[in-house]
Structure 1
Amino acid sequence: MSTVREADGTAASLRAAMVSELHEMGVLQSEAVAKAVATVPRHLFATEESLESAYAANKALVIKRDADGRALSSLSATHIQAVMLEQAEIEPGMRVLEVGSGGYNAALLVELVGDTGTVVTADIDAEIVERARGCLDAAGYDRVQVVLADAGSGVPEHAPFDRIMVTAAAWDIPPAWRDQISERGRIVVPLRMRGITRSVAFDRDGTGLVSASYRLCGFVPMQGNGAYAERVLPLGEGATLQLDDQRQTVDAEALAAAVHGPRLEVWSGAAFDLPDELELFLVSSTPQMVMLHGSKHLVDQGVLGLSVTRGVPALVAGGSFAYRTKRPNEETGGFESGVVAHGPEAQMVAARYVELLRRWASEHRRRGAARIRYVPLAEGAAEPAVGVVAKRFGGVEITWS
């Protein structure tokens, strides 16, 4: 447990305000996680930041960037760290492995496992490991074991673990993680699936894993053996497609021409709500769903709709594509979902997309309707299909109730 005292009352006051904000947001569900967040001096893990930034509930702080300015390591927002800790349901005495070291989350884990528990945090970057060790020592958490390792292979010398907490976006679940969790083990991992990321709490399910919960999140990607680069195909200036499956083929030239062709809008008559749940439903509905990204410039020109600026699931068929949009409509509860389609088969691809929107609204429009299973398979054997996202070491099966 931490024995550090505040130099003045400012940090303690800001930390208490952050905890109150997290309570108001409904993030803190258990007394244990709330107490941990209220105890750990986050500012000692964000020494380059102001106290106000360190204790902003929804602010992620970049610790290290590459030569091109991309984030390599970050101190995640307390909001998402608390969400994942609630998903983990950590108990005193547990052995916990953290994949990705910032220091702060490991300190929270120490508060949760107590004096009889063990926390190991591993990172592939020696500079990050050194920094985490220094911050943890300064904050009074010298019990944390900080390890330099490619955590895609786990940390076998400290296994088994009751919990594995992954704090980087993982495209797959390495066999080592499954092998190194105990019988009561749980893996909480930000899992990439067709261009989106969800923090999934996986429990053992025979030889595989099954979700206990899932939440919206965003993280910097894993490095080392777990690294994976999704394909990005330009569709002319200002638009790109992001493809999860390296084997997937699309007619980029035809699609680029379709971007600036006629634009068809079709409205579903169905409510637009819970966009994160809808997004997961869409990407799991067909392997022909990819992510479309577009510039604000193309939106301002009226070429593409506003939803493309943050990335939107797009259904691709030949030289045509469709993506979701919305408009105000009080008759559907505030907003109505719709589709924008381009290309010679715009009507067909729009109709397929609209059918998905209607099915979502009528059958699955609520939180937690998805069940996510990870099925281990021989390397490279998984095939993408309806409800199946293929990975290197298995398949992610998503079903809806």
Structure 2
Amino acid sequence: MCIHGYTWSIPFTNNDGVLIADSLTVCGFVPLQGPGYRPDHTVRLHRGEITARFADSTPIDTNLLEAALAMPRTERRTGLTIPGNVPSDMLMLWLATHLDAGFTRLAVAEDLDTGLLQRPTGWDAATLIRDDSLAHHRTRKLNLDQDGTSLFEFDVHAYGPHAKDLADTLADLVITWDTPPATPAFN
């Protein structure tokens, strides 16, 4: 299954007429090919340093994004930390399915990297673009924990006139992803 450019293997079990996902596996090693293949629409920004990949939406006026990237950065920390040996691919699926309109993925060309955006490792950065602003998810390395394991915090960097709103939207989704579901209370 391809969701906003991320490819997953999701087996389902029929449970009384309801399909239940048994597990989720990232399948990034081979891109989808053949019938049903839809290429990403890519847009190069900041003199080719940044590539925005639009899998399921139409990109906006790139002049607005160039102007946004020239504005001061807004940062929003989530307070959510994970050990470096814990995969965060489920967060990418969560963001891809909850951001809807405006979801894209950002990559930074290593040979053109000016440091404007943190170059994502592994996955392209989940990004929210709306009109003249953008916010992207990133991981920030923290100190080692008491066991000597590297810790990382999820945070958001945003640019443009509506940077704060987009940073809050994206950061709030990351925090919600980490919030355990409510359990029903019975009297």
> What is the match of residue 52 of structure 2?
241
The answer on 1:290 being equivalent to 2:99 is no
Name the CA distance, whole Å, in 1 between partners of 2:121 and 2:152: 18
**Structure number having the greater helix percentage:** 1
Structure 1: give runs of 5+ residues left out of the alignment: 1-190, 365-401
Name the CA distance, whole Å, in 2 between partners of 1:308 and 1:264: 21
Same amino acid, percent of matched pairs: 28
- 1:226: how far off? 2.6
> What is the match of residue 344 of structure 1?
161
**TM-score under structure 2 length normalisation:** 0.77
Structure 2: give runs of 5+ residues left out of the alignment: 182-187
> What is the match of residue 10 of structure 2?
200
- 1:231 is aligned, of 15, 25, 41, to 41
Equivalent residues of 1:325, 1:337 under 8 A apart:
yes
1:362 is paired with a residue whose SS is: coil
2:152 is paired with a residue whose SS is: strand
- 1:260: how far off? 3.6
- 1:209: how far off? 5.0
- 1:234: how far off? 2.1
- 1:249: how far off? 4.3
The answer on 1:363 being equivalent to 2:174 is no
- Name the amino acid aligned to 1:346: A
Equivalent residues of 1:315, 1:323 under 8 A apart:
yes
Tell me the alpha carbon deviations over residues 10-34 of structure 1, each in whole angstroms, 9 at most, x when there is no partner: xxxxxxxxxxxxxxxxxxxxxxxxx
Q: Are residues 337 and 234 of structure 1, via their aligned partners in 2, closer, same or farther at CA, if it must alter by over 3 Å?
A: same
- 1:282: how far off? 1.0
- 1:353 is aligned, of 163, 170, 173, to 170
**Structure number having the greater strand percentage:** 2
Q: Are residues 344 and 305 of structure 1, via their aligned partners in 2, closer, same or farther at CA, if it must alter by over 3 Å?
A: same
Tell me the alpha carbon deviations over residues 232-281 of structure 1, each in whole angstroms, 9 at most, x when there is no partner: 122241212111225x3423221123234322222111224531111111
- Name the amino acid aligned to 1:242: R
Q: Which has the higher contact order (CA 8 A, sep 6+)?
A: 2
Q: Are residues 309 and 218 of structure 1, via their aligned partners in 2, closer, same or farther at CA, if it must alter by over 3 Å?
A: closer
Q: What does residue range 17-166 of structure 1 map to in structure 2 within 5 Å? A: none
> What is the match of residue 61 of structure 2?
251
- 1:351: how far off? 1.1
* Number of equivalent positions: 171
Q: Are residues 222 and 215 of structure 1, via their aligned partners in 2, closer, same or farther at CA, if it must alter by over 3 Å?
A: closer
- 1:203: how far off? 3.7
Name the CA distance, whole Å, in 1 between partners of 2:6 and 2:43: 17
Equivalent residues of 2:135, 2:159 under 8 A apart:
yes
Q: Are residues 225 and 325 of structure 1, via their aligned partners in 2, closer, same or farther at CA, if it must alter by over 3 Å?
A: closer
- 1:225: how far off? 2.3
- 1:283: how far off? 0.9
- 1:217: how far off? 2.1
Name the CA distance, whole Å, in 1 between partners of 2:97 and 2:123: 19
> What is the match of residue 76 of structure 2?
266
Equivalent residues of 2:53, 2:104 under 8 A apart:
yes
Name the CA distance, whole Å, in 2 between partners of 1:240 and 1:252: 11
Name the CA distance, whole Å, in 2 between partners of 1:275 and 1:222: 22
Equivalent residues of 1:298, 1:304 under 8 A apart:
no
- Name the amino acid aligned to 1:326: T
Equivalent residues of 1:316, 1:322 under 8 A apart:
yes
